[in-house]
Structures are given as C-alpha cells and as structure tokens.
Amino acid sequence: MFEAVNNLIVNAILFVQKSAQGFVENVNYLNFTWLQIAADIFLVTIFIYYLVLILKGTRALNIVWGLMMLGIIYLISKAFSLVAVSWLFEKFLTLVIIAIPIIFQQELRRALEKLGKTKLFMSHIIIKADILISQVVSASADLVDRKRGALIVFERDTSLKEYIDTGVALDSDVSKELIVSIFNDRSPLHDGAIIIKDNKIKAASCILPHSFKAYSKTLGTRHRAALALSESTDAKIIAISEERNSISFIEDGSIEQNVTPQKLELMLEFLKPKEKKHYFKSKKVQK
C-alpha cells in the first residue's frame, strides 16, 4: 500500500515536471519573450474574469464548475497514469466539446449580443446592470406564466425612502427566484411592491401612494398605484396583471401595456450607466 502511494506521488511529480519542461521547450522553440508570455497570460485571465461575470447568476455557471471538476479529475488521472480513467474521460470530453454550443446556447447568444452592443471591455457596473436586467425580465415572464400579479419599482434620482419604510427591509441581491417567491400568493410579502435601488431589493410589501384620479376602468389597483407614484416621482415601474397575464411599464404618469419580455429588456436599459434613453413611446392614460 505504501509503495503504491509512493508510485502515485512520483508519477504526479514526473507529470508536472514533464509538462513544465514541455512548456519551456515550446517557448524556446517559438522564440517567445517573457513579456509576450506575461501579456498572453494577462489577456487570458481578463477573458476568464469577464466570462465569469457574464455567467454569474445563471445556471450555466454551475455547469462550468462541473466541467472544471471533470477537467481536474482528467488531469489527475493523466498524472497518476490511470489508463482506464484517462481513456474514459478522453471520450467523454470529446462529447462535451461537441455539446458545449448546445448547452450554452442562450448564454453564447446573449454574450455575442452584448459584445455587439457595447465596448469590448465593459465596466463591472454595466455587467452588473446586464445581470439585473436579465433577472428582472426573466422573473416578469415567469410571473406572467404563473398568472401572478406584481409591482417592481426602480428608484431613480427621487428618493423613495418614505415608501421603502412602509415595507419589510430586505437589502437583497436581485434574482429571478427571489422575485418570484416574493409574489407567491402564499408569501406574506406578496401584497404591495418591491423597490429596487443600487442593484438591491431594498424592501418588499411596500405601500405605494393612492390616486383619486379617474383612470381607465381597465386598470387595476396595482396599475393605478404605479401611475400615482410615477406622477409624483421619477420612478419607473413594472406592473404585472394576474387577470390579463400581461406586463405594463409605467413612467412619468404614462403606461405602456402588453409589453413583451424582449421589449421590456430594452426598456430597462436605463439601468445601465450613461444610457438613460427611452426605448419606447409611452401612451398617455385616458382619464
């Protein structure tokens, strides 16, 4: 037993030594300078960092960690000369490489779209805004599918502290799962609105102001409360109707109804720094 462990350790050391020697030989053969090598490693590190930021908050990140673990096991099997395990993983990794475009289809499409719209090196703040938009849009679509009502308020320049104080303080990261669970009919927080500020859900079950204006009879209590808030502040609100199974976007006393998830994603572009443009022409509510 002791001899077998020693053999494994020796094989691991020889594997590392052989890999390092092969790396140095390749560098010498290609006449690379150490500056080129450092720049190469730096750029790869930046690429991996931004890749993790794009995948953060998605299920794909868990798949990546799983693939990394398989890769580590494969390297260990090669280091210890485990022939059967190495053969099995070589065949399996070949299948994984073919399946990657299918597994990460949505993430690859979203990453390419972002690459086409933004600068190559986006700031960390913009990436966090992209994640926030993705989570909110996904949650909104899920709530429509589940036929649940909801109010999602985004604080802008005007402070909403008086309304935040009426709810239950959370100060939680924004995620699809959290938003959907809050607006579950059995949740004690489902009545009222959630207010998002600085990429955080500051509070849930918040009470919005009541308006005595004569809005269209087709609008429910949620939509009227959202309109009242938008008339007195610069907040932007997503209102989801459980009766009509539709999404509405409210700002500046105006409402856009029957918004698709794709259009909602464009409307939420104001969450990105220096991109405070309106992406739709709102219609004034008939009074």
pLDDT at 121: 45
Q: Are residues 105 and 135 in the same domain?
A: no
Same domain, 274 and 171: yes
The confidence score (pLDDT) of residue 250 equals: 94
In a domain, 12, yes or no: no
15 assigned to some structural domain? no
User: Among 56, 86, 112, which residue terminates a domain?
Assistant: 112
Looking at the structure, tell me whether residues 131 and 103 fall in a common domain.
no
- The residue that leads in pLDDT, 10 or 172, is 172
Q: Answer yes or no: is 101 within a domain.
A: yes
- Domain total of the chain: 2
The larger pLDDT score, comparing residue 52 to residue 150, is at: 150
List, in sequence order, every beta strand (DSSP E) within the chain: 150-154, 168-173, 193-197, 200-206, 236-241, 246-251, 254-256, 283-284
Same domain (yes/no): 132, 99: no
> Do residues 216 and 89 share a domain?
no
**Residues 73 and 95 placed together within one structural domain of the fold:** yes
- Averaged confidence pLDDT in the chain: 79
Measure the CA–CA gap between 145 and 136, rounded to whole angstroms.
14
Long-range own/partner contacts, residues 74-79 (CB < 8 A, 24 or more apart): 76/12, 78/15, 79/11, 79/12, 79/15, 79/16
Asked whether residue 263 falls in the same domain as residue 151, the answer is: yes
For the ranges 11-20, 92-101, 115-124, which has the lowest average pLDDT? Answer: 115-124
Place of tokens 């087709």: 218
Q: Is residue 26 part of a domain?
A: no
Identify whether 259 is part of a domain.
yes
For residue range 70-89, list pLDDT tens digits in order: 778 777 777 677 777 777 87
pLDDT digits (tens, 9 = 90+) for 189-239: 988 999 999 889 999 999 998 766 766 777 888 888 999 999 889 999 999
Q: Tell me whether residue 3 is in a domain.
A: no
Question: Same domain, yes or no, for 99 and 130?
Answer: no
Q: In the prediction, which pLDDT does 287 show?
A: 43
Q: What are phi and psi of 278, to 5 degrees?
A: -90, 130
In terms of residue numbers, what domain contains 39?
A: 33-112
**Domain-embedded: residue 5:** no
Q: Are residues 88 and 163 in the same domain?
A: no
249/143 same-domain check: yes
Sequence length of the chain is 287
Among 57, 84, 112, give the residue marking a domain's end: 112
In a domain, 162, yes or no: yes
Whether residue 47 is found in the same domain as residue 144 = no
Q: What percent of the chain has pLDDT over 90?
A: 35
CATH at residue 207: 3.40.1700.10
* Residues 47, 87 within the same domain: yes
Query: Is the predicted pLDDT of residue 187 greater than 80, yes or no?
Result: yes
| Beta-strand runs (E) in 124-221 | 150-154, 168-173, 193-197, 200-206
